[in-house]
């Protein structure tokens, strides 16, 4: 039978005790992490959120506590009273912060028992994800998981401190909104009071934060939950959290400087790192040309080279035709990777094709020349090719001749994958950069129309406004992304704040006046009531915390995430609802399988 807490109160946390506390009487509370019997003594490691400390049950100190300690099993909830003592010489544990001391227990209360565990509460054990999420409350007891959630908390705390210190006001915006026409699929919420009508769970506070600027708040933020019904990947969840920020009367450069201060404050607070400012800036065009990605990892080099002119009118017809037809030949050098096998090289070709390229040319540079299926075509230009890439014996060269965007993105993916495979990515460190001047629009071949590259409220650059209708593909946006170690951790833009400009952009996107009025009438109305210049950004808290915690998946920094398929095995969500609930909402569920 379990004891009650009664009048006992914790005096110290388990992980806080040190040699200087020797002789101090303490009351500790936590979980039994491990129990060992040694020659009449019982040792129990008691763990709380700060760490663990060894407790010694000696019949000479307390026969009652020693007898009761025999029944302790893993994850029993304990309260102990005793005296801190230095461990006997030679028994110290340098791996523990509390490894110089132990507690000689005089009194024990077993506050609760535990069933046998589905997995050990240890960091160094492999547990399948379904089991971890089924027993997430146990998974979160592991030190690594608690550390990750502490890092996430520190990110949010540092954010609030910085923004409040710079005059920002935290304002909550609605979760239940009208469905949006752009972006990912909405999660729909049926209205019981208005049958046949639905709310959508907000994908972002975008429109509302712009309305707050129209309302004169000038500096707004919130740390907000957002929802998107999209296919899951390791860096996506159906519900996620973002740091949402909007300002008035700041141009792009002033705004980016303000945000750099916030990011620097977060890194200083969370990781104790001072990052140099201002952060580097790359235009979208430059990032794609040099790195084949609009979120380049700048911790390592491996820049792409444009070798189109080397192959123009050359003997290698595949590349000569690409060069003559307006395409590009891009090349990537991987230092020291020339020892790969023929099968490994051919696998690279197959991978390039799955990524959308027509093909890939690989070249191994040796002391005796070039090894490649097309070596005879490359030998006449060998010196110029090696010179353009700074290549030498032992290196691997990859070349793609294709549409420029395809050549860039395929080699950009190889740049990251092969750098990781060959150990060329430095461990630790934080490489930050802004990517700016994105195209405002991108052409959809499938829909045969222009689409917003970010969202339809992003402002064109002032100098591009005159050619908005005549040359829309050349118009650049006042948009910006912040990249950290090759991951986009934040993105935003200066917004359109003039009704006439917003209407022009809508028309380019194929959104007529009637449709615009139906979907965004409240915003268009607001823009006619003295809307100020405005701009903002949103940071993914989950992704930022994952980077700072050194985790690959954002699920490792979320308390209760879903699986990659959007399921919660702990609560069994999503789940059917009762017929009565459906009738109340006026909804009938179609059996898709039987209709197929």
CATH number of the domain residue 76 falls in: 2.40.50.140
Supply the pLDDT for residue 314: 83
Decide if pLDDT at 183 tops 80.
Answer: no
pLDDT value at 63 more than 50? yes
Statement to judge: residues 398 and 346 lie in one domain: yes
| CATH number of the domain encompassing residue 246 | 3.30.930.10
Q: Under DSSP, is residue 396 helix (H, G, I), strand (E, B) or coil? A: strand
Q: Are residues 233 and 369 in the same domain?
A: no
DSSP E strands in 121-232: the ranges are 169-170, 176-177, 188-190, 198-201, 219-227
Q: How confident is the model at residue 594 (pLDDT cuts 50, 70, 90)?
A: low
Q: Is residue 128 part of a domain?
A: yes
In order of 64, 246, 476, 544, 575, the CA distances from 212 in angstroms are: 65, 9, 26, 26, 37
Q: Are residues 434 and 456 in the same domain?
A: yes
Of 402, 422, 442, the position where a domain reaches its end is 422
559-586: average pLDDT: 94
Do β-strands 432-436 and 281-283 pair in parallel, antiparallel, or remain unpaired? parallel
Q: For strand 101-112 and strand 77-86, is the pairing parallel, antiparallel, or unpaired?
A: antiparallel
> Is 119 among the domain residues?
no
The average confidence (pLDDT) of the chain is: 95
Provide the residue range defining the domain that includes 64.
19-112
**Total length of the chain:** 596
Statement to judge: residues 219 and 270 lie in one domain:
yes
* Cβ neighbours, 10 Å, residue 87: 17
Phi first, then psi: what are they for 186, rounded to 5°? Answer: -85, 150
478 pLDDT above the threshold of 90:
yes
Domain boundary among 360, 389, 422: 422
How many independent structural domains does the chain possess? Answer: 4
Task: Indicate if 391 and 341 belong to the same structural domain.
Answer: yes
**Which CATH number is 321's domain given?**
3.30.1360.30
Residue 8 within any structural domain of the chain: no
* Residue finishing a domain among 528, 547, 565: 528
pLDDT 10s digits, 432-462? 999 999 999 998 888 889 999 888 999 999 9
Q: What is the pTM of this model?
A: 0.92
Which tens digit of pLDDT belongs to each residue from 492-549?
A: 999 999 999 999 999 999 888 888 888 888 989 999 999 999 999 999 999 999 999 9
User: Do 149 and 248 fall within a single domain?
Assistant: yes
One domain for residues 180 and 159: yes
Is the per-residue pLDDT at 596 higher than 50?
A: no
Same domain for 388 and 307: yes
> Would 291 be classed as within a structural domain?
no
**Residue 232: predicted pLDDT:** 66
Question: Over the stretch 411-425, which tens digit does the pLDDT of each residue have?
Answer: 999 999 999 999 999
Domain-embedded: residue 596:
no
Q: Does residue 569 share a domain with residue 517?
A: no
DSSP 81-118: EEEEEEPPTT---TTSTTTTEEEEEEEEEEEE--PPPS
Is the domain of 225 the same as that of 138?
Answer: yes
Shared domain for 413 and 517, answered yes or no, is: no
Q: Where are the beta strands (DSSP E) in 158-230?
A: 169-170, 176-177, 188-190, 198-201, 219-227
Q: What is the mean pLDDT of residues 113-133?
A: 95
Beta-carbon neighbour count of residue 288 at 10 Å?
Answer: 20
Residues 232 and 140 in one domain: yes
Radius of gyration of the chain (CA): 30
Is pLDDT above 80 for 75? yes
Residue 310 lies in a domain: yes
Start-to-end CA span in the chain (Å): 57
Residue 4 domain-assigned (yes or no): no
Q: Kindly state whether residue 9 falls inside one of the protein's structural domains.
A: no
């Amino acid at each position: 039978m379990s004891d009650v807490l009664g009048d006992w109160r914790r005096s110290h946390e388990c992980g806080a005790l040190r040699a200087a506390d020797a002789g101090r009487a303490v009351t500790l509370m936590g979980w039994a992490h491990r129990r060992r019997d040694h020659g009449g003594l019982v040792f129990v490691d008691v763990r709380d959120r700060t760490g663990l400390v060894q407790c010694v049950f000696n019949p000479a100190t307390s026969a009652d506590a020693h007898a009761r300690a025999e029944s302790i099993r893993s994850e029993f909830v304990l309260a102990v009273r005793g005296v801190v003592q230095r461990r006997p010489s030679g028994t110290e544990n340098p791996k523990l912060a509390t490894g110089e001391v132990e507690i000689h227990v005089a009194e024990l209360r077993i506050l609760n028992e535990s069933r046998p565990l589905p997995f050990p509460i240890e960091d160094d054990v492999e547990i399948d994800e379904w089991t971890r999420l089924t027993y997430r409350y146990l998974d979160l007891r592991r030190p690594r998981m608690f550390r990750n959630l502490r890092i996430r908390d520190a990110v949010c705390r540092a954010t609030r401190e910085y923004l409040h210190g710079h005059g920002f006001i935290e304002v909550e915006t609605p979760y239940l909104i009208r469905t949006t026409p752009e972006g990912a699929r909405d999660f729909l919420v049926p209205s019981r009071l208005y049958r046949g009508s639905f709310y959508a769970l907000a994908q972002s506070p975008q429109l509302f934060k712009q309305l707050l600027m129209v309302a004169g708040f000038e500096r707004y933020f919130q740390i907000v939950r957002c929802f998107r019904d999209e296919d899951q990947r390791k860096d996506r969840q159906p519900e996620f959290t973002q740091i949402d920020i909007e300002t008035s009367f700041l141009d792009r450069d002033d705004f980016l400087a303000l945000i750099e201060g916030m990011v620097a404050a977060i890194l200083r607070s969370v990781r104790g790192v001072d990052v140099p400012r201002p952060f580097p800036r790359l235009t979208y065009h430059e990032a794609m040309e040099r790195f084949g990605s609009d979120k380049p990892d700048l911790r390592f080099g491996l820049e792409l080279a444009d070798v189109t002119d080397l192959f123009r009118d050359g003997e290698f017809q595949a590349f000569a035709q690409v060069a003559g037809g307006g395409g590009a030949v891009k090349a990537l050098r991987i230092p020291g990777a020339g020892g790969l096998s023929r099968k490994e090289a051919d696998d690279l070709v197959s991978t390039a094709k799955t990524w959308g390229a027509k093909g890939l040319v690989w070249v191994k540079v040796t002391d005796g020349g070039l090894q490649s299926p097309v070596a005879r075509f490359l030998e006449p230009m060998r010196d110029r090719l090696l010179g353009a890439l700074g290549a030498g014996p032992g290196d691997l060269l990859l070349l793609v001749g294709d549409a420029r965007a395809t050549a860039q993105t395929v080699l950009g993916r190889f740049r990251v994958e092969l750098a990781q495979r060959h150990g060329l990515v430095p461990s630790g460190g934080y490489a930050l950069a802004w990517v700016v001047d994105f195209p405002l629009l991108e052409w959809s071949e499938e829909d045969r129309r222009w689409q917003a590259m970010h969202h339809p409220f992003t402002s064109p650059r002032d100098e591009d406004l005159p050619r908005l209708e005549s040359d829309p593909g050349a118009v650049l946006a006042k948009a910006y992304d912040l990249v950290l170690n090759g991951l986009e951790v934040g993105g935003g833009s200066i917004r359109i704040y003039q009704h006439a400009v917003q209407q022009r952009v809508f028309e380019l996107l194929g959104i007529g006046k009637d449709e615009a009025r139906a979907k965004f009438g409240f915003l268009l109305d607001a823009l006619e009531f003295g809307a100020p210049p405005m701009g903002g950004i949103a940071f993914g808290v989950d992704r930022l915390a994952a980077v700072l915690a050194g985790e690959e998946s954002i699920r490792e920094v979320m308390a209760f995430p879903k699986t990659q398929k959007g399921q919660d095995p702990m609560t069994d969500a999503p789940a059917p609802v009762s017929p009565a609930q459906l009738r109340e909402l006026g909804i009938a569920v179609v059996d898709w399988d039987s209709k197929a």
